[in-house]
Structure 1
Amino acid sequence: MSHDEGYGGFAPGSHPSARAVAMRHAVLPSERQVIDLVLEHAEAAIEWTAQEVAERAGVGRTTVMRACQTLGYRGYPQLRVALAAELGASQSPQRGGGAAGLAAEAEAGARAGVRAGAAPVAGSALSEISADVAEAALALGSSTGMLDERSVELAVSAIAGAQRVLVVANGLSAVVASALSMRLTAHGRHAEFIADSLAQQIAARHLSGGDACIVVSGSGANDTSLGAAAAAAAAGASVIAITSFRASALTDAASLSLVIAPSGVTFRSELEHASRVSLMLFAEALVRAVSRATGDPARSARAQTLEVISEHLEEQ
Structure 2
Amino acid sequence: MWQGPAETPPTARIAMLAPSMQPSERRVAEAIAADVDISIERTAQEIADAVEVGRTTVVRTAQTLGYDGYPQLRVALARERASSAPSQDAAADATMLGALRGAVDRFASRLAHTVSAVTEETLAAFVGELDGATRLLVAANGLSAPVGADLSMRLTSAGRPAEYVADTLGQQITASQLGAGSACLVVSGSGVNRASIDVMTAARASGARVLAITSFPRSPVAEMADVALVVAPINDSFRDELLYTSRAALMLVTESVVGLLVSRRGASATAAQMATFSVLGHSLSE
What is the deviation of 1:110? Answer: 8.1
Instruction: Tell me if 1:125 matches 2:96.
Output: yes
What is the deviation of 1:212? Answer: 1.2
| C-alpha distance in 2 between matches for 1:45 and 1:235 | 49
Instruction: Tell me if 1:154 matches 2:125.
Output: yes
State the TM-score, normalized to the length of structure 2: 0.93
Change beyond 3 A, Cα 1:45–1:273 = closer
Instruction: Give the counterpart of 2:24 among 26, 30, 34.
Output: 30
Equivalent positions of 1:1-316 (< 5 A) are: 8-92=2-86, 105=87, 108=89, 122-315=93-286
Whether the 8 Å CA contact 2:177–2:206 is kept in 1: the answer is: yes
SS in 2 for 1:46: helix
Gaps of 5+ in 1: 1-6, 93-104, 112-121
Gaps of 5+ in 2: none
The one-letter amino acid paired with 2:185 is I
SS in 1 for 2:246: coil
Deviations 1:220-272 (A, max 9, x none): 11111111100111112111111111111212221112111122244332111
Structure 1 consecutive aligned stretches of length 4 or more whose deviation exceeds 6 Å: none
Whether the 8 Å CA contact 1:139–1:265 is kept in 2: the answer is: no
Give identity over the alignment, percent.
43
Deviations 1:279-315 (A, max 9, x none): 1111101111111122221111111111222222334
Deviations 1:23-64 (A, max 9, x none): 121112211222123233323433433333333332222111
What is the deviation of 1:70? Answer: 1.6
Count residues with an aligned counterpart: 286
Deviations 1:192-214 (A, max 9, x none): 10111111111111112211110
The one-letter amino acid paired with 1:166 is L
SS in 1 for 2:113: coil
Whether the 8 Å CA contact 2:90–2:99 is kept in 1: the answer is: no
The one-letter amino acid paired with 1:311 is H
The one-letter amino acid paired with 1:230 is T
| C-alpha distance in 2 between matches for 1:130 and 1:8 | 33
State the TM-score, normalized to the length of structure 1: 0.85
Deviates more, 1:174-183 or 1:49-58: 49-58
SS in 1 for 2:192: coil
RMSD of aligned C-alpha atoms?
1.8
The one-letter amino acid paired with 1:240 is L
| C-alpha distance in 1 between matches for 2:116 and 2:45 | 29
What is the deviation of 1:156? Answer: 0.6
Whether the 8 Å CA contact 1:212–1:239 is kept in 2: the answer is: yes
SS in 1 for 2:190: coil
